[in-house]
Amino acid sequence: MNNRFILNISALFLAFLVVLTTLFFTKNKLFDYYFTYLDSLKKTVELQSDLESGKIVLFGSSELVVYPNQKFLPQNFFNNELKIPLRVQGNEGHQSFVILSQLAAFDNKKVRENAKIVVLLSPSWFTGSSDNGLTMAKFLEFMNLGMMNKLYFEGQTQDKYKFLISDYIQNNISYIKDPTFIYETPFKDIKDEYIDNKFKKFIIEKFDEKYVKTQDISYLKQNINFDNLKNEAKIIESSSSNNKFGIQNEYYFKYIKPEIAKNNFPFEIVIPPSLEKNEEYQDFLDLLDFLDSYKIKPLFIMQDLHPYIFIKNRENANLLMETIKSKVLEHNFEYMDMWTYKKEDYEIGTLIDIVHFGELGWLRANQKIVDYFVK
């Protein structure tokens, strides 16, 4: 009995000594983490809570912010009109890679089982200059210090995604002014700091216990008359009295009419010569692979480029859109195709300008979201 007591005391003392030694050698990193990085974690908890709770989370880009007063904009329509909880995440330039990065940072069993994801795709992501993929400025906006710490020290995602994100940062490190430790250090080096990583993981988990509030969100089918709402959308749609394209007067006068005067009309869709060199397309494929682990299959909605305005090279653009659609369907994800190859298939008012949804476009997308997730 005495020997066992001595052994237990010795083991306890040794463990205490290891903790003290570790704290001594890592205290600067831990204190820096606690006082600097932890504060930015507060910006992440709402999204994590919504994903874990099963709230519908819609990821998109400029269409979510450019016309904030649209009645059928999802954050307005769902939360204000239908009283159905929905979150939107993103603004201009928010594309596939940063969506993947955020989801990877939050990856855990609750998210994989409960998350209801909608991704708004834009043809403009994959064409023109945007095919070069995500900008570092947009990455930093959504992958702040707290998100990066979640990704490296708490996120349960496969290491291949952590390496993928780390490689992106290292390849673009010159675009970060005075990068902090979490950005300038490759994940392969961070991964080796076993004890330091365990402490950081412990701190983040304690933070989550205090601030991440998982709700019980359930969606009940509602009797919504979308035919009546469609008529309403046509009535409140922005006037287009100075053009035949059904787009906003001011937009036409400012952006389209000058191009017509310069003989730069109709517009051409610039298609990258190779999908292998199309960064956005490759990022999109990585996002599809990542979402395979989700129990509730995500919904992808492909938007349009105005077929009365983007006429040149539309046939090749159509082939690209068909390829993107096929990749989503290969993963057995839900896909809503709002891309129109022929202008005869386009309904005036679907877009409010040449790339962004008008009230009719939003209403159609909202109806799909309701039909798919509210059951």
| pLDDT band per the 50, 70, 90 thresholds, residue 164 | very high
Q: Does 11 have pLDDT greater than 80?
A: no
Residues 258, 117: Cα–Cα separation, whole Å: 40
Specify which residues 118 forms β-bridges with.
58, 299
Q: Does 238 have pLDDT greater than 80?
A: no
Cβ(177)–Cβ(68) below 8 Å: no
Distance CA 103, CA 107 (A): 6
* The model's pTM: 0.88
- Give the type of residue at 81: E
pLDDT in tens, 325-347: 999 999 999 999 999 999 999 99
323, 275 Cβ separation under 8 angstroms: yes
> Is the per-residue pLDDT at 119 higher than 90?
yes
- Please give the angle made by the CA atoms of 374, 59 and 86, to the nearest 5 degrees: 35
Arithmetic mean of pLDDT over the chain:
89
pLDDT at 9 over 90: no
Portion of the chain with pLDDT greater than 90, in percent? 69
pLDDT value for 16: 54
Tell whether the model's pLDDT for residue 130 goes beyond 70.
Answer: no
Q: What are phi and psi of 2, to 5 degrees?
A: -65, -40
Asked whether the predicted pLDDT for residue 93 surpasses 90, the reply is yes
Residue 122 has phi, psi (to 5 degrees) of: -120, 135
> What DSSP designation does 346 have?
P
- Measured CA to CA, the distance from residue 320 to residue 327 in angstroms comes to 11
At 266-281, the pLDDT tens digits run: 999 999 888 988 999 9
Give tens-digit pLDDT for 37-52: 566 777 788 999 999 9
In sequence order, what are the beta bridge partners of 301? Answer: 120, 336
* Residue 116: closest CA among 373, 329, 358: 373
Compute the average pLDDT of residues 61-74: 96
Mean pLDDT calculated for residue range 205-223 = 83
| The pLDDT of residue 83 is above 90 | yes
Q: Is the pLDDT of residue 28 over 50?
A: no
How far apart are alpha carbons 328 and 299 in whole angstroms?
A: 9
Rounded mean pLDDT of 252-264? 96
Distance of CA 245 to the CA centre of its chain: 30
* Confidence bin at 179 (pLDDT 50/70/90): very high
Instruction: Indicate if the pLDDT at residue 25 is higher than 80.
Output: no
d(CA 191, CA 269): 43
What mean pLDDT comes out for the span 223-234? 91
Angle between helix 279-291 and 159-171 (nearest 10): 160
- Whether the pLDDT of residue 27 is over 50: the answer is no
- pLDDT score of 268: 96
